Amino acid sequence: MKNRVIFSAGVLLSLTLIYLMLGRDFAAVSAQFARANYLYVLPCIALLLVSMLTRALRWQVLLPQQLSLWHSFHISNISYFVNSLLPLRAGDLTRAWMTTRLDPPIPAFLTLSTVVVERLFDLLALLGLFGLTLLLLPARPEIATFGTGIALSVVIGAIGLIVIAVKPDWFRAPLRRLRGSALERLRLEARFEHFISGLRPIGQASILSSALGWTVIGWLVDVLAGWTILWILFPAPSLASAIAMIFLVGVSMALPALPGNVGQFETGVVVGLWAAGLIASLNPADYAPAVAVGVTFHAATLFVTTLLGLIGLWSQRVSLRQVAAAR
């Protein structure tokens, strides 16, 4: 029931944003598409491919000596592809299922715990982008307040994971009390131990530094991809504007949405470019170039995700029907 409510809210929000971005002045947006220089899409796609590789390298670091780069790259690409097709981050469950098929298998809860760590690292990266946005651009009160809320959430989440990793016995004791009860069938103790196993790498300096390093590299590549795509319509855009755009796009991806984050992604681009001063206002006539950039950037992202996802399915010898059934 909860998932249905979230999905319904996401659909409603996406449709509303699509109307606001495209429906209020479609002629103005169409005119921007007509004058865009699409040659810049090619280097953008190349950078997005590099970004996907950096995320695979990070995941491999979080599962030391358990996952080859081949499997890390293709399985993570499949999970991103499934996320673009299905709601409620179904790709994360797909990733967990696929690691159980490896030889030797990796427990699903161990995989899911590394996904949680990845989310934390990505939130820390967004926090860094937020700081750079405030540093490099004239501060807008709306963005500053919004970013501060994200910063507080990141800090709370980081503290929570650190407490679980450092003091797991605090959580083991309540689980032991469930022995002999009906809840014991859920194997919560075993699943918690698998979850803790995935958090242990963040307590090792070498693994932590490597994972954070790949996170930084990956987001920097995303910023370069965003900066490249801006050239299709904006002459000499600054890196600061790309940073603001990628920050807002990253935040928008956390909102409930239609599969593929249609509407939310484009809104993140528009608000980011408004925060950077590349568009004068949030009126339809003014933000039409930003909408065209957002749609093009999103299309390039979905192209890379789909291409690598299909290659991943072929390499792992699985079909979309199997993936859907495994959910």
pLDDT band at 141 (very low <50, low <70, confident <90, very high): low
pLDDT band at 304 (very low <50, low <70, confident <90, very high): very high
Please state, in angstroms and rounded to a whole number, the distance separating the CA atoms of residues 192 and 186. Answer: 11
pLDDT above 70 for 15: no
pLDDT above 80 for 148: no
pLDDT above 70 for 311: yes
175-205 pLDDT, tens per residue?
777 666 655 666 676 777 666 766 666 667 7
Determine the pLDDT at residue 27.
85
What's the length of the chain? Answer: 327
Identify which has the larger pLDDT, 300 or 193. 300
Q: How far is CA 186 from the centre of its chain?
A: 30
41-74 pLDDT, tens per residue?
999 999 999 999 999 999 999 988 789 999 999 9
Structure tokens at 189: 């103790």
- Lowest-pLDDT range of 3-7, 43-47, 68-72, 257-261: 3-7
Question: Taking residues 299-326, what's their average pLDDT?
Answer: 91
pLDDT above 60 for 23: no
Cβ atoms 120, 158 nearer than 8 A: yes
Cβ atoms 215, 174 nearer than 8 A: no
Question: Taking residues 275-292, what's their average pLDDT?
Answer: 86
pLDDT above 90 for 208: no
- Cis (ω within 30 of 0) for the bond into 64? no
Determine the pLDDT at residue 98.
95
Three-state helix/strand/coil letters over the chain: CHHHHHHHHHHHHHHHHHHHHHHCCHHHHHHHHHHCCHHHHHHHHHHHHHHHHHHHHHHHHHCCCCCCHHHHHHHHHHHHHHHHHCCCCHHHHHHHHHHCCCCCCCCHHHHHHHHHHHHHHHHHHHHHHHHHHHHHCCCCHHHHHHHHHHHHHHHHHHHHHHHHHHCCHHHHHHHHCCCCCHHHHHCHHHHHHHHHHHHHHHHCHHHHHHHHHHHHHHHHHHHHHHHHHHCCCCCCCCHHHHHHHHHHHHHHCCCCCCHHHCCHHHHHHHHHHHHCCCCCCCCHHHHHHHHHHHHHHHHHHHHHHHHHHHHHHHHCCCCHHHHHHHC
* % of the chain exceeding 70 in pLDDT: 78
Cα-based torsion angle of the residue sequence 250, 254, 258, 263 in order, rounded to the nearest 10 degrees: -40
pTM, two decimals, is 0.84
pLDDT above 60 for 1: no
Cβ atoms 106, 66 nearer than 8 A: yes
Determine the pLDDT at residue 53.
98
Identify which has the larger pLDDT, 2 or 275. 275
pLDDT above 80 for 303: yes
- Lowest-pLDDT range of 46-60, 141-155, 233-247, 292-306: 141-155
- The residues, any chain, with a CB within 8 Å of residue 2's CB and separated by 6 or more, are none
